[in-house]
Structure 1
Amino acid sequence: MTATTAPAPAAAAHQSPAEGEVARRRRLVGIALMCGAVALFASLDACGKTLARAGVDPFVTTFLRYAGSVAMISLFVNPVRTPSVVRSRRLGLQVLRSLLLFASTALNFMALRHLQMAETISIQFAAPLTVALLAGPLLGEWSSRARLAAIGVGFLGVLVIVRPGVGTMHPAALLCVANVIVYAFYAIITRKLAAYDSTATTMFYTGLAGVTLTVPLLPWIWASPTQWSHWALLLGVALFGTLGHWLLVLAHARAPANVLAPFLYTQLLWSVTLGFLLFGDLPGRWTLVGAMIVVGSGLFLLAQDTRRRPA
């Protein structure tokens, strides 16, 4: 939902009790959908980690993740049903956005080969902090001193997780840091495109450029999985990713973004649970401490946004 929605106090003043109850139920449904979406994203990571540990090339996994997504989305959003969907006022940005998302997913799968799920998602929670930092020079949305302080604290949380210089940092953690930067630019471009193209057009191009440019590389990176379980996991990667984003769309159609955003962090709980059940991984003390710092900083930024701009 956008900031053009009527401010909450004014809307509440004209709401009958029945309308208020309907709105409350819609928000609860939206929250449930958001929790379902992040559970699917954690399942996606679990499939990707299993495939990486089995020796499947992360680029193959990424390719099939978006090839499946493009195929499923094309059933509903395609030039046959809606010819205007292919017309973009900023085609270059659409292509760049698609490539950034593709790169972000590939970096995540490469990192999951070596790191715990809880570690990768905790570092990735720094992406909103990076977006807030870059939004000033790139979008003209400058942060206050309090917000800058919160961003700085959040990045300290990432350092607590990674702990460079103490001999415990795995080099794959740098892949997560690179993923945070790549995803931040993806998010900023997504916001810029909202002023030019429809949501349907952006959805149509989401995985298209990455898949199209990867096809010529397949002869060099492709290796057919030898087990049916690997094919099932690859199908799960595409299915969980597509359904997760679909639930996100449904959730934001029912509840304001500032209501839904805190529940994004429940993905950490799913990652810890699946990591333990499937791989026997338990996050270390410093990972949990750093994760709490990063999450706390993100929630502070969210609270600041809510004060400045009612949902």
Structure 2
Amino acid sequence: MQASPTLAVPASPVSRGIALMILAILLFTAMDATAKGLIARYPAPQVIWARFAGQFLIVLLILRAQTGPLLRTRFPALHVARSAFQFGATTLFFLSLTHIGLAEATALTDINPVLITLGAALFLGERLGPRRLAGVIVALIGALIIIRPGAGVFSPWALLPLGAAVCYTGNALITRFIGAQESAWTSMLYASLFGTVVATAALPFVWIPIPAADLAIFALVGALGTGAQLCIIRSFSMAEASVVAPFAYLGIVFATGWGIVLYDQWPDRWTMIGALVIVGAGLYVWHRETTSARKT
């Protein structure tokens, strides 16, 4: 008797949403690591402009004739607010990189999963069960192990990534609210257009000529930001914000890796311990949520 072929079980929306969030965080940290190198040689507003102008150009090239129809939206005010939050998150984080290390800035920004989980319960009506809350708290403990309050990480400049975390939270909650009601490309268009217009206004005051050798690096910042933003919008459209938010803590792990590869900045023992705690918390949430999804 011939055995019947094994059918692949399609991934649940929760599983796909988590996977997209992890990919988004990987791309975001790659963008931040690339931007850190540029900010050491160019004004931060010029690098911020490249991030949004690059995304706007890429989206236009992909959409072409569809650009006009996709600009029509039922939520114009929310798109403006979301775009402002995204611009604020990027600007504050990039500015912090001139004074704080990449891993430390990422760790401070990664308070956002707590804010997103609480905000989703308060404003979006998402349930805040004990397992989700436990995953967020354990991941936060991992982040605190890495940044070790009182060990010199906290300074006035630390307010910049903390402010970026607040802006990221607002962006995430609005993205989740709009969710599947509109195309992800509509959000991509508005965010990149808003950021490009605002950043362009600052260019005459800070512009430094870019040698041909650096043009590809500036373009890479825009490309990485575009890919990350598309992944994160789709992630929040597939799964509840409180489910995927804890996986943003992996940004600390990824940022540490980029710091080693690009800047020879090796983590200490406590950073490694905190990273393991974060990964463990993320795997726990993924297991519990995907198991629950298969039972429903």
Larger deviation, residues 283-292 vs 184-193: 283-292
Aligned amino acid, residue 274 of structure 2: G
Where does residue 210 of structure 1 map in the other structure?
Answer: 195
Q: Within 2, Cα distance between the matches of 1:262 and 1:133? A: 12
The aligned runs of 1:1-311 (5 Å cut-off) are 20-21=7-8, 23=10, 39-54=26-41, 56-78=42-64, 80-81=65-66, 83-194=68-179, 196-220=181-205, 222-225=206-209, 227-245=211-229, 270-310=254-294
Kindly, what percent of the aligned residue pairs are identical? 32
Query: More helix per residue: 1 or 2?
Result: 2
Q: Is the 1:126–1:154 Cα contact (8 Å) retained in structure 2?
A: no
- Alpha-carbon RMSD across the aligned residues, in angstroms, is 4.1
Q: What's the CA shift for 1:290?
A: 3.1
Q: Within 2, Cα distance between the matches of 1:35 and 1:145? A: 23
Distance 1:225 1:260, change over 3 A: same
Q: What's the CA shift for 1:68?
A: 1.1
Larger deviation, residues 67-76 vs 230-239: 230-239
Q: Which runs of 5+ in 1 are unaligned?
A: 1-15
Distance 1:142 1:233, change over 3 A: same
Q: Within 2, Cα distance between the matches of 1:132 and 1:33? A: 18
Larger deviation, residues 41-50 vs 287-296: 287-296
Q: Within 1, Cα distance between the matches of 2:146 and 2:272? A: 8
Distance 1:175 1:303, change over 3 A: farther
Q: What's the CA shift for 1:94?
A: 0.4
Distance 1:68 1:167, change over 3 A: closer
Q: Within 1, Cα distance between the matches of 2:242 and 2:4? A: 23
- Aligned residues between the structures: 290
Q: Within 2, Cα distance between the matches of 1:188 and 1:299? A: 23
Q: Which runs of 5+ in 2 are unaligned?
A: none
Q: Which SS does the other structure have where 1:75 is aligned?
A: helix
Q: Within 2, Cα distance between the matches of 1:307 and 1:146? A: 13
Q: Which SS does the other structure have where 1:194 is aligned?
A: helix
The CA deviation string for residues 234-284 of structure 1, in whole angstroms up to 9 with x for no partner, is 12211222244457789999xxx9999998776655533331232120122
Q: What's the CA shift for 1:36?
A: 6.6
Larger deviation, residues 181-190 vs 105-114: 105-114
Q: Is the 1:162–1:173 Cα contact (8 Å) retained in structure 2?
A: no
Q: Which SS does the other structure have where 2:63 is aligned?
A: coil
Q: Is the 1:38–1:244 Cα contact (8 Å) retained in structure 2?
A: yes
